Structure 1
Amino acid sequence: MMLTRIWRHKAAPAGLAVGALALALTACSSSGDAGGGAGGDVKLTIATVNNPQMQDMEELKSHFEEDNPGITVEFVTMEEGDLRAAVTADVASGAGQYDIVTVGAYEVPQWGAQDWLLDLTESLEGDAAYDVDDILPPLRDALSVDGKQYAVPFYGESSILMYNKAMFAEAGIEISNNPTWQEVAEYAAVLDTDEHAGICLRGKPGWGDLFAPLTTVVQTFGGNWYDENWDAQVNSPEFVEGVEFYVDLLTEHGQADPVSYSFTECLNLLSSGKVAMWYDASVAASILEDPEASEVAGQMGYTHAPVYKTEESGWLWSWNLAIPKTTKNPEAATTFVKWATSKEYHQLVGEELGWTRVPPGARTSTYSIPEYQEAAAAFAPITLEVMESVNPEQPGVDPQPWVGIQYVPIPEFQDVGNQVAQLVADAIAGRTTVQDALDRGQDIAQTAGDLQK
């Protein structure tokens, strides 16, 4: 069954070549000043990704334009990889083509530290009506550098285990709100039948595909990409154990042809009743509960991300609105960014488009709106609970020298993650062993680690 509102996952995106980002991280881009304003005729150009929430923002922009005469907003909508390439090239060259950009939690701290983005701290904290403290603390921390906030979340997410309650009931299985990975593996073995697979997991190569969920598994098994000294840990016993567990679970009780599956493919499989469980982004729940897009609406259950040696293992991601310092219209751009991430905007989306379409995981107050509570009762509480429980400063067993869960916020990580993901995908496909794949991955990761020392 085709989904009417298919969601291209943004949890840990891929597609930007490391060379482009490396160029951006060495380029001089301090060309923006405080010129421009909300007065007069101003056209704001926003570069954004083509997902449903951003399409909703474009649909509702007329409300902003009516309330702010003289300001018009033009959306330039792109596929995820194209967006990242275009935005990075624009910021790196200082061209100033975009007044507002949609960027991920991966880029914001790097670009903020390079002074490429407008510091929004004073504008946000000085506006009592905007209530910046209402933004979920983990997201606000992830978008700040040295106490300065360089972006605001349009929506946020963590990762959860989604399961078909009817299949579990038929198999006589009861699941807790905090399952372990070992328990999940046992359930998958029982639920793997001729009619449906036991679990769906990403196997498609890519740092934002395969390694988004796999990094969280590695972390709860006690591994991580690097230690505190930036020495790579890719072939450490804990990293190997986590990857071997994931690969075994996927190949023994997962979907057929796993290396072709990422977010959308697993979403389609679960929504059509062809798999019993799926571990992935929490934003999927709103689609699974939509009867127009899902055959299993009303039949789903949701738990915290499975764990092993840690108390939590969910990831943390957000798509955010930021303003390049190259903009000629900083005041008008700030006005729009605040409007699109405000409490009032969430209310507008609910009233105009439907309450399940309110951007999730950004503001605490959203989860207190009665209409949203009713419409999103199946998934809203668990989403907020998990997002407030994860620890991006130390998601694994050991300390790490960066803030982030399913990614390492260094420019080289995209290339490292992509290469190691391809090696692991080869192991999933049976072309190599996990140990051999990660031994090769260790050398790749160490080269990048040496640059951080």
Structure 2
Amino acid sequence: MKKHIAYAFGGIAAGLFGLMASASAETLTIATVNNPDMLQMQKLSPQFTKETGIKLDFVVLPENTLRQRVTTDIATNSGNFDIVTVGSYEVPIWGKSGWLTPIKGLPASYDVADIFPSVRKGLSYKGSLYALPFYAESSVTYYRKDLFKAAGITMPAHPTYKEIEQYAAKVNDPAKGIYGMCLRGLPGWGENMAYFDTLVNTFGGRWFNMKWQPRLDSAAWKNAANYYVNIEKKYGPPNVTSNGFTETLALFSQGKCGMWIDSTVAAGSLWDPKTSKVAADVGMVDAPIAVTPKGAHWLWAWSLAIPKTTRHKADAMKFLQWATSKNYIALAGKTFGWVQTPPGTRISTYSNPNYIKAAPFAGMVKKAILSADPTDPTLKKVPYTGVQFVAIPQFEGIGTEVGQQLAAALSGQKSVDAALTQAQAATGRTMKEAGYK
């Protein structure tokens, strides 16, 4: 009898879990995010079934919901998930806590040495892997070459935030449904804060000083927050606080954005005429800088991990190896076009002539990923690692709270100063309760 593995993606009603369990004696449940590359993974899953005899069912949820459900499940040992989609923030922390199964005994054919060292390191604790990367990313500036040409301006290879604001004003044309700058506004430590953290970094700010005291009321934070709020109010789309990565990708793909600063993983979708109306007019340059280049672009890997609570480690490991392998990357390239293949994880991808030919952005993406340094993310010294996050367990709650305050300022519910004052106070309370001071 073939095993039935259901891959569920966060936020499913308890009744559905029960229904799936009753349909199969052995059911594995996986949580994942509704990003384009994961949707492709779902479409390719019949090939895994063909190779292994293991059936797969998929249910997909937005990023914030996924994170909440997975974190709750892992922290409470509920055991609803057998495979989880997690990132560079969670993996070392959860590995240290003993919540994840170490990745051991990978076959030579998997070629773990082919994974970029910085990506491997971000998914490890004390030298042991606790997840395998599905795709990795940094951040860059996307822009519309046709709009820039029509406005008589040229995007430099290394723009400053002052220049970016000037360009946003010149290409902004809301009467035609074109907005000068599209940025994430949806509150969440991995949504608006993922971008905003890089803005704070390059403006010379930091989350904590060397004594773990919050610095959210500093001049650098205020300068970054005022820049963010002002550029989106003047040149951003309406209802920006509803837009996360997925929504902003859709806006740019539909031709509604003059610029967008965000993940390098979006390049595959933006350059593909099948998914982007502006594929012929997309340009890419480095993420902008303000005071310092440190921490101006992030490093992240969406990855697959196995909770310790699973009863089906061997079967779960089969899928992890399949979905993160060289063969999967080749399968995705042949099926969806090489421009859409999962990026950022393997050295061999960036020497593959098929990918290089299809993805003119490949070299820049590789450079951005390799140059991001989570161990040195800020102008002033800090006691933490992480570019767009702080690698401590408390950050998930802190980042979410601060993201909500920032969204309130963006929507006009409160001033920037009031938002940061409340964010500083809330962060200070959390750190004190956690014993940091």
Provide the residue aligned with 1:171 in structure 2: 151
Provide the residue aligned with 2:380 in structure 1: 398
Sequence identity, in percent? 42
Provide the residue aligned with 2:397 in structure 1: 415
Provide the residue aligned with 2:313 in structure 1: 330
Structure 2 counterpart of 1:114, from 88, 93, 97: 97
Q: Counterpart of 2:303 in 1: which secondary structure?
A: strand
Q: Is 1:147 paired with 2:130?
A: no
Farther off after superposition, 424-433 or 166-175: 424-433
Residue by residue, what CA displacement relative to the aligned partner does 1:18-43 show, whole Å, maximum 9, x if unpaired? xxxxxxxxxxxxxxxxxxxxxxx976
Provide the residue aligned with 1:245 in structure 2: 227
1:58-73 equivalences under 5 Å are: 58-68=42-52, 72-73=54-55
Asked if the contact 2:268–2:341 (Cα under 8 Å) also holds between the matched residues in 1, the reply is no
Asked if the contact 2:270–2:278 (Cα under 8 Å) also holds between the matched residues in 1, the reply is yes
Residue by residue, what CA displacement relative to the aligned partner does 1:380-401 show, whole Å, maximum 9, x if unpaired? 2222111111111122212322
Q: Counterpart of 1:449 in 2: which secondary structure?
A: helix
Deviation at 1:366, TM superposition (A): 0.9
CA 1:123 to 1:400, structure 2 compared with 1: closer, same or farther past 3 Å? farther
Q: Is 1:262 paired with 2:244?
A: yes
Provide the residue aligned with 1:297 in structure 2: 279
Decide which structure has greater helix share: 2
Structure 2 counterpart of 1:321, from 284, 297, 304: 304
CA 1:326 to 1:203, structure 2 compared with 1: closer, same or farther past 3 Å? closer
Structure 1 counterpart of 2:343, from 360, 363, 366: 360
Residue by residue, what CA displacement relative to the aligned partner does 1:57-102 show, whole Å, maximum 9, x if unpaired? 233334334444xx52434423134433443344344454433221
Aligned Cα RMSD in Å? 2.4
AA aligned to 1:211 is M
Deviation at 1:292, TM superposition (A): 2.6
- In 2, the alpha carbon distance for the partners of 1:296 and 1:392 equals 33
CA 1:238 to 1:366, structure 2 compared with 1: closer, same or farther past 3 Å? same
Asked if the contact 1:135–1:364 (Cα under 8 Å) also holds between the matched residues in 2, the reply is yes
Asked if the contact 1:45–1:74 (Cα under 8 Å) also holds between the matched residues in 2, the reply is no
Q: TM-score, normalised on structure 1?
A: 0.83
Farther off after superposition, 343-352 or 189-198: 189-198
Provide the residue aligned with 2:87 in structure 1: 104
Deviation at 1:363, TM superposition (A): 1.1
Q: Is 1:370 paired with 2:353?
A: yes
Q: TM-score, normalised on structure 2?
A: 0.86
Query: Which ranges in structure 2 are unaligned for 5 or more consecutive residues?
Result: 1-9, 12-24
Residue by residue, what CA displacement relative to the aligned partner does 1:257-313 show, whole Å, maximum 9, x if unpaired? 433333233323322333311111222222222223222111010011101233351
Q: Is 1:47 paired with 2:52?
A: no
Deviation at 1:350, TM superposition (A): 1.6
Provide the residue aligned with 2:193 in structure 1: 211
Asked if the contact 1:53–1:359 (Cα under 8 Å) also holds between the matched residues in 2, the reply is yes
Asked if the contact 2:101–2:130 (Cα under 8 Å) also holds between the matched residues in 1, the reply is yes
Q: Is 1:79 paired with 2:61?
A: yes
Q: Counterpart of 1:179 in 2: which secondary structure?
A: coil
AA aligned to 1:115 is G
CA 1:233 to 1:190, structure 2 compared with 1: closer, same or farther past 3 Å? same
- In 2, the alpha carbon distance for the partners of 1:441 and 1:348 equals 46
AA aligned to 2:252 is L
Structure 2 counterpart of 1:341, from 313, 319, 324: 324
- In 1, the alpha carbon distance for the partners of 2:407 and 2:74 equals 33
Number of matched residues? 409
Asked if the contact 1:350–1:357 (Cα under 8 Å) also holds between the matched residues in 2, the reply is yes
AA aligned to 2:340 is R
Farther off after superposition, 77-86 or 244-253: 77-86
AA aligned to 1:232 is P
Farther off after superposition, 425-434 or 358-367: 425-434
Q: Counterpart of 2:32 in 1: which secondary structure?
A: strand
